[in-house]
Structure 1
Amino acid sequence: MNCDSFDPSCPMSMDSLLLPVTQSPPEISDDNRLKSVPDKLSELVLEPYIASDTESEYESEYESESEFVLESESESELVPEQEPELLPEQDPELVSEQEPESESEPELDPRSDWELIPIEKLTVNDLASRYDDDPSLFWFSCTQFVYKNKAFLKREEEIEKALAEYLELSRDVSPFDAIPIPPLAIADRCGCNFPAPVELTEECGLLTDLSNLALEKFNAKNKGSNFVFDELVKAAYSAFPPTYYITFKANDAAHPQPSDSPATTFQAQVWNMVARKGPYMVKSCSIKT
């Protein structure tokens, strides 16, 4: 069939022959398209979101760190950074200036110059040049000589003077009537053994016992006498050997009324050969005349 002329009604027109014709797919209505696509949103199950503990801790730490960073940045802007101070051992300049440690110095001999001199070569002048004017007491003795400085010699003179005065005062004094010893006289070794007065209140108990012991010996020695202790009068004491010189009063128990009888004064010497550790012995006991 020839189609020389263009006929629109002709199924085989030029346009259909020369140009490919694409036909659109059949239109689908909106209602059908919605029905054909499954509703996925309706099938999803939405659950509430809860942050875990680790996430919350991380967030809090992050917030605190961020605050600290902000604060440190603000402080760094205000206060300039200071360099750390170096210890003297760490400072290179000071270390370079320090001298190397020297060896420990030998210890000095604590002895005096004269003590370093051999004893056989030591002389009085070696000591006099050092101690003559020293206010402290000093003396030295060896086989060659005895040295005493001026202070020591002066004290010896004072002791001798005090001792001489005491001996003069106590020349005719009985040990039962002992007088106080001057302190300088006591400084002498001999002065330590002089009888010295005793405070009755300090040794009243011991002195009373020793007086009764002396009366027992007196009554035993003098048959027919029966004296009893009344009171202490005074006492003295010497150290070598430990000896008490006691003066006391006693009444005669044989008297019809002993309390009304005149008291008799006794003097007793009681001593101990082992420094008060052994029993006391009555050396003498008699009526004072």
Structure 2
Amino acid sequence: MRTIYLNGNYIPETEGRVSVFDRGFLFSDSVYEVVSVLGGKLVDFDGHVQRLARSLGELGITGAPDAGAWLAICRELVARNAVEEGMIYWQVTRGAPSDRDFVFPAPGTAPTVLAFSQSRILADNPSAVTGIHVVTLPDLRWGRADIKTTQLLYASLMKNEAIARGADDAWMVRDGFITEGTAQNAHIITQSGTLVTHPLNREILHGITRAAVLPLAGHPIEERPFSVAEAEQAAEAFVSSASGFVMPVVRINDKIIGDGKPGSATVQLRKAYIDWARRTAL
């Protein structure tokens, strides 16, 4: 049985209990992070713990573990659950006041702190060999997509809508431009060999994998919005995320990208990222 971490204790997952008044449950008043595990080690831990601190700060949630404590928690979960490859999820809510109220609880209310593991195949993901198909759908999320909250309902709806349309995932579109995927940053490589990616602002999550991937690309990089039409005419396309690393996109809507197979630049970039991740994991 999987062991989880909840509010200072390592317990079987079946024993995890959270108050019905917890603000994460009632208001999605919570943030989370996810760090990959390769070879039993944590990939890009520093980037993820720094982004968690930023998300907590943007929402004014206090009392969460510090970086050193998170590292110890993650390593303990890897050991207790024998995770060789997979993910560690961390979640912090504003806590559980005594009743439901839109007003934040009194200062000093303890946050709810949860972490758990998922074992899964990452490096040899079969989708990296075939590539994935995405469809474009409207981006109707709230205006702070840069904060990694657990408010994931719309992204989940779009993921399921994409599957219902026969695709693997969705790229979301705002004002005619692609922002990002449901849980991934979106990128294209133009016919002239330029890697184009959405700029870091409030419309997208500031991807930790994105930050690691771009310096490895070996291509000119333009951080700017790109349209659906430009994406459909790209030489290559891919997404980046902690769980998917660099994942080739071979079809956007009804348009085949390149020859319908993962492009050579994307394949090389995925390999370069995995090599980097294994070399630098903690």
Q: Which TM class, normalised by the smaller chain length?
A: under 0.3
Instruction: Give TM-score scaled by structure 2 length.
Output: 0.22
Instruction: Give TM-score scaled by structure 1 length.
Output: 0.22
Larger Rg: 1
Which one has a larger percent helix, Structure 1 or Structure 2?
Answer: 1
The structure with higher relative contact order (CA 8 Å, sep 6+) is 2
